Each structure stands twice: as structure tokens, then as C-alpha cells.
Amino acid sequence: MDTAESVSKGCFAYKGKKKVANPAAYFTKKDVGCEARLEAYQSLWEIVDTDIKIMQSDLNSQIFEELLAFAASSHSPRSNDEEEGGQLRKAIQEIPTAALITGVNTPDHAVMFSNLVQLLKERVSSLVATLRAKDCPNLKTTLSKMISQLTSNPDLILDDDDDDDPAAPRRKQAACTVSTLCQWYNSKFRSSSSSPKKRRSGGGAIETTMSLPPLVVVLEDMESFLPLVLQDVISICSNYIHELPLVLVFGIATSVTAVHRLLPNSVSSLLCMEKFQAPPSSEYLTQVINKVLMTATFPFKLGPKVFQLLLDIFLYHDFSVLNFIKGLQFCMLEHFYTQPLSHLCCHLVDVDRAVSSLSHKELDRLRQVPSFTRYMEESCSSEDQSRLRDDDKFLKERVQDLLVGLHDYHIAFFPILQCLNVWGSVLPRYPLGKQLRELYATSLESDVCDSEAYKEAMTLFRMLSKDELSSLVMLCVERTMSQDLPPELDQLPDQLSELLVLLEKEEEEAPEAEPAEKNEVQFTKTDLHTLRKTLKEMGKKRRFSPFEQQREAVVDFFDALFRKYLKCPSSQPLHELVYHSSVSGVRRHINASPRLAIQKALSNPAKYLQCECCEGEHGAITPSMPDLCVVYKLHLECPQLINLYDWLQAFITVVTEDGKKRTKDEDSLLQARFIRSVSELQFLGFIKPTKRKTDHVARLTWGGC
């Protein structure tokens, strides 16, 4: 913010030091089972985080494969290169440039480019420099950072004979110019091999090879660089392209047209640019959801509203998978913090140990879980109900069976859900959603088979052609064979293969229709009711072809399969232990409303400061309140334009004692306190200076808490 427009022209924000939160500090000693829950959370998140990092590494390697090959081969010798003065004079005149289209998901760019730089150093060259627009305000700073990064590698120290003599005078540091970089590069890499090596190819021709590593300069946010700085850097690098094997990598968030928008034709013509498109972040999100949330490997799941909230933040706010993962971690931490029985959210192999360690108090709490209470009332006999209420040992055995059944439910649920997505993705208008995550969000709320969208989809399924039906069954066979299925679904791939064989059989010839009687057609008058009745009877007498009968059998088979295994997770007993459904806490911390929080803090400082002296009646102003809170409450009583002098006098009246005389220094101190508070209020966005009246400020918000 420009201080020239500030009320005080001297208010600066201090962010302070960042504090790293300790998860153990969230649990109190009085909390039963807190250590077990903390241990369960840490072990589970460690596995999830490791799998996400491996997935991210594999995805980045696929993205950067072509870019790494381009950087490695951009300065390789060509047949039209000429040898001149012991060096190769390249026919290429432009700077090899890779335009990496990263997308608008800016929070993920730092991780993406750090992985790119690591791969470049491992597979292409150790001479890599990374430049950011915020660190390069001018040409001198840009060149200095670029050259210092290229030459500061511990393996690239310039040999100096004078360093062996301690009595020798220290030389002055060389200037950070590209000519200095050329001297350093020639002395380091060209001195040992002044002439290029030659080898004989398979056809007998002599080929020239070079072992010189390229110098890669990565501009993470090319669009944010000052155009003049970018133009000068490219022009200078172009003048040394015959001496230095430079390679530029532009990180572009929008499109390649940004390069032509920032650079004139005379500068852009110096670049030999090749485009590399990173896949959209939605594909990365799909992989994270499929391999972390939509799998029985990890027991922790998100409730319908929480999952939809994180998905909406991704789709409508930042497109950042990194923020989605942070939100997932927060949901997991809050679940293990707020759910006293969350240590039962563990892997299948640890269920027996976790259940056997339950105390009597935890078992009483388990009996009060809503889904378990409903299970006792609806699925248990009166004898079992009494035993579950009184016998702890019997309760542990039943809880262990229910947790194993919940795990088996997830094993069967996700493969069948993928089969339903395969069917729904070919329908017009996608009534069940095009993406698997859309169908998953729907199935979390209620039974998907009872929805109107499913009924519409089943109607469309009964209109598919033979080729479409065969391809869908084939895809379902591939999906089910590639996943682990529960014992009750072991025969499902074979059953689907039998359906596929049934569809591939040739249709039997339908019996010929009886010849129509050769009578003259008689036209008779009729009414609408009689016509409707006649058409309905004709429809009942319609005979189905063999393929239509086969199609009905296939659709009915899948309909029964979907209805049996795609039950809503909330219908399962003890689902509260693994599903986090508290959306209010997630929304308050991840998708908070800053203005509302600030207004609450300024209106009720005692709640935030835990100070008894600041307490008072609602709306009352006390002298013990912070100056900012006093100024804020006084400004709520003012109209659109606030007179600064009247505001100051009201502030002095509140914070000082009645009838006490003040010295000149005390008045100056009160004015300074008032100006500081007004400046802070302006920084928070509640007021602004106005030109309508010089001694007034304009109010920007209305209403208060």
C-alpha cells in the first residue's frame, strides 16, 4: 500500500516469525486415548504422504521427459556444424527455449519447478539457475543471481594456483558479467578438452562429440518479469550463444502468446522456442482422489459435505492440488482430535489390537455412536441387544466384526462404483456425472441407485447398441480384473466375460411375421381414448428380438449389482469412526471469512485476548480495551464521512479519566495513539481517505458484530 495515501503516512505491517505447530500440543493429558489417536494419525498420514510424493514424482517424470530430452539435445553437435579455432561453430543462431505451460494453479508451481530443477541436475546438467520475478527487479540483479547460481556449485570451483600460497594476496571478486561466466566456463570445461572428440560411426563416417554440459536458466514466472529486464537478458545471452551452451526454460501460466506480448519481434526472433504442455491439475487431483480416498487401503475417508467443500475450493478458487492435500491433512488431524474413538480408524491388520485395547469408558462411548445404536435396534435381536449393552467382551467381538465388514464394504464399493462410472460416462448429458469424483460425491450423500439420475441412466442403458454394450462390458472386465475384490466378488470377472461372450454370439433369426391378410384397409373414425388403448395393446404384443433380450439381461445384471454394493456409506455401522463429516470446522479454518473474523475480534476483544478487564456489556466501550477496538467501535456510530477531529475527541474522552488535566506530552501521546489506530483501521480496509473533505475519512463497511 502506498504510504502517501495513508492517514498517518508511517504505518508499516510486521508479519512476525512463523510458528510451527506441534500436533501433540492439541491433546490434553485428561483426554483418554490421546496418545493412541496421535500415534494412529501420524502413522496413517506418513503412509498417505509417502504415496502422494511417489505419485507426484512419477507424474513429474512423465511431464518433464520430453523437456529433459530437449534440454540435453539442444546443443548436441549437428552435421552442419563447423569446426573453427578448436571449437564448434554451430549453425543454430537462436537460444534453445522450452516454453512450459504450467496452468494457473500458482501454489503448485514452486513444487513443480523444484522437481524440474532436481531432474535437470540429475539427468542433464548440474549448471542450473532458477530466477523469480520478485528477486529480479533490474538487469544487474538478474545477471548477478543467474551467474552466482551457475558458478556456486561446490563441484564447480575455479582452480587458482594462488590459493595454494597462503601468503599470496587475495584477488578481488570478479564482476558478475556474462563475459566472466564465459571465462569461468572455458577454464573449467574447455581447458581439459580444447578440441572436440571424434569417433567413427557404424557407417564409417566420423562424428564429432562434445561432453560440455549446457547451462540451463529456469524462469519460473516469466510473465511477471519486467519486459525491459527480460529483453536485455535475452539479448545479452544471444550474443554469447556461440561460446556458452545456454538453454532457457520459461514457466508460463497462460499461453505462449504471453512471450510475444512481452517481447518485441526483434527479441523473440532470437529464441528457438518449443512448447511443452503440462497436464491440467484436474488430472493430478483425480489421481490423488482415486489412489488415496477411493481405495480401501487407507481407512480414513471424507464425508459428503467435507469432500464437496474441498472439491469446490479446488474448482472455483485456486486449482491447487497442494492446497487440496493440505486440506485433507487438516481434516485428518481434526478427525483424530475431535473423535474420541478415531484410533479405531486404522488398517485391517491393526483392528484386532485397537479393539482389544478399548477401555470400559470407551466402550460406553462406542455404544452411544448413532450408527451403532441404529444397528442394535434394526439388525440385532433382543438378546444380542442386552449382551451388547452389558457384556464388554461380546461388544468387542461384534465391533471387530463390524470394522472388518466396513473394510470389506469399501473393497467392493469402489470397483463397482468405477463400473457404474464406465457406464455413465457414455450417456448423453451425463446424468450420473462425467468424472468419477462427481459420482463419488453423489454416492456419499445417499444411495445413488435411488436417485432420479440413476433411473434416467437405466432408461438410456436399455437403448444402447450392441457395439456400445460390448465395449462397456469389456471395460468393466478390465476394471474388475485390475483390482482386489472381496471373496464374494471373485467370480465377477468370469461372469462379465460370459455376458460378453453371450453378446458376441450371432443373433438368431427372428421368426417371420405372419403375412397380413389381403383385405382392403378400412378407415374408421375413432376418438383419442380408443386410439391410446389400441396403441397400448399393440405395444404389449410387441415381440423382442434376441439382442434386445440379451441387452435386458445384461442391464438387469448390472442393475442388481449396483443396487447391492453401492449403498451409501452412512448406512454402514460405525462409519463415524472413519468418515470425517464436520464441515463447519473445515470451512472455518480453510475457507474462512477474514472480514467477519476481524469484526468479531474488534467487537469482542476479551474473547480473543482472554482478558477480564476488557469484558463488558455488548456494544459497550471501556478504556481498558485496545485502542484499535475503541476506534473501531466509535467509527460504527458515525455516518459515511467521519470527521477526524470529532473522532479524536471521542477517543480521548473514552480512554482518559473524567476531570483530569493533561499535559502537552500526554496530548501528543493520545494523538499518536489515535493516528496509529486509525492507520491500522485503514490497513484492515474499514476506512479510506477522501478528497470530498480534507479533514474527513470515508467509511467502507456497514454493520458490525
Query: What is the CATH classification number for the domain harbouring 656?
Result: 1.10.10
Residues 243 and 296 in one domain: no
Contact 456, 602 (CB under 8 A): no
Q: Are residues 288 and 340 in the same domain?
A: yes
Query: Is residue 440 predicted with pLDDT exceeding 70?
Result: yes
Q: Give the bridge partners for 413, in sequence order.
A: none
pLDDT of residue 679: 93
Task: Report phi then psi at 363, rounded to 5.
Answer: -70, -40
Cell numbers linked to 470: 460390448
Of 247, 279, 311, which one is at a domain's C-terminal end? 279
| Residue 180 scores a pLDDT above 90 | no
538 found inside a domain: no
Residues 576 and 602 in one domain: no
Q: Helix (H, G, I), strand (E, B), or coil: what is residue 513? A: coil
Please report whether residue 41 resides in a domain.
no
User: Does position 100 have pLDDT exceeding 90, yes or no?
Assistant: yes
Total domain count, the chain: 3
Are 249 and 392 in a shared domain?
no
Q: Say which CATH number the domain at 97 has.
A: 3.40.50.300
Taking residues 363-390, what's their average pLDDT?
Answer: 92
* Domain co-membership, 140 together with 258: yes
Give the pTM: 0.77
**pLDDT, tens digit, 9 for 90 and up, residues 450-488:** 999 999 999 999 999 889 999 999 999 998 888 888 888
DSSP 507-538: PPPPPPPPPPP----------HHHHHHHHHHH
Assign 397 a pLDDT band (cuts: 50, 70, 90).
very high
Q: pLDDT tens, 208-249? A: 334 688 999 999 999 999 999 999 999 999 999 988 999 999
Same domain (yes/no): 261, 370: no
Q: How far apart are CA 82 and CA 64, in angstroms?
A: 31
pLDDT surpassing 50 at residue 165:
no
Mean pLDDT, residues 303-314 taken together: 94
- Cβ-contact 562, 422 below 8 angstroms: no
Q: Does one domain contain both 559 and 608?
A: no
Better-scored residue on pLDDT, 569 or 105: 569
Whether 317 maps to a domain, the answer reads yes
Is the pLDDT score of 297 beyond 60? Answer: yes
Bridge pairing between strands 95-101 and 271-277: parallel
User: Domain for residue 535, yes or no?
Assistant: no
Residue type, 151: T
Provide the percentage of residues in the chain whose pLDDT is more than 70: 82
Assess contact for 658 and 673: CB atoms under 8 A. Answer: no
Query: 534 in helix, strand or coil?
Result: helix
Give the model's pLDDT for residue 86.
Answer: 42
pLDDT at 506 over 60: no
User: How buried is 603 (Cβ within 10 angstroms: 0-12 exposed, 13-18 middle, 19+ buried)?
Assistant: middle
Region 515-521 average pLDDT: 44
Q: What is the mean pLDDT of the chain?
A: 82
DSSP string, 101-151: E--S-GGGHHHHHHHHHHHHHHHT-S-EEEE-GGG-SSHHHHHHHHHHHHH
Listed in sequence order, the DSSP H helices in 463-517 are 466-481, 492-504
**Per-residue confidence at 85, pLDDT binned at 50, 70, 90?**
very low
The gap from C-alpha 629 to its chain's centroid, in whole angstroms, comes to 37
Domain end position, chosen among 279, 299, 328: 279
641-664 pLDDT tens trace = 999 999 999 999 888 876 677 888
Question: Where among 535, 557, 580 does a domain terminate?
Answer: 580
| 273 and 304 fall within a common domain | no
Structure confidence at residue 27 as a pLDDT band (50, 70, 90): low
What pLDDT sits at residue 543?
A: 66
Q: What value does the mean pLDDT take over residues 240-265? A: 91
Predicted local confidence at residue 521, as pLDDT: 43
Per-residue model confidence as pLDDT tens digits over 143-162: 999 998 988 743 433 344 44
Angle between the 627-635 and 644-655 helix axes, to the nearest 10 degrees? 130
- Domain of 650 in residue numbering reads as 594-699
Q: What is the pLDDT of residues 319-358, one digit of tens each?
A: 889 999 999 999 999 999 999 999 999 999 999 999 999 9
pLDDT, position 420: 95
- Asked if 253 and 224 sit in the same domain, the reply is yes
630 with 673, same domain: the answer is: yes
In a domain? residue 401: yes
Indicate if 275 and 287 belong to the same structural domain.
no
pLDDT tens sequence across 659-699:
677 888 888 999 999 999 999 999 998 999 988 888 899 99
**What pLDDT does residue 531 have?**
74
**Domain identity same for 274 and 289:** no
pLDDT at 583 over 60: yes
- The bridge status of strand 82-84 relative to strand 87-89 is antiparallel
152 domain-assigned: yes
Q: What is the end-to-end Cα distance of the chain in Å, rounded?
A: 27
pLDDT score, position 205:
37
The C-alpha cell at 436 is 468419477
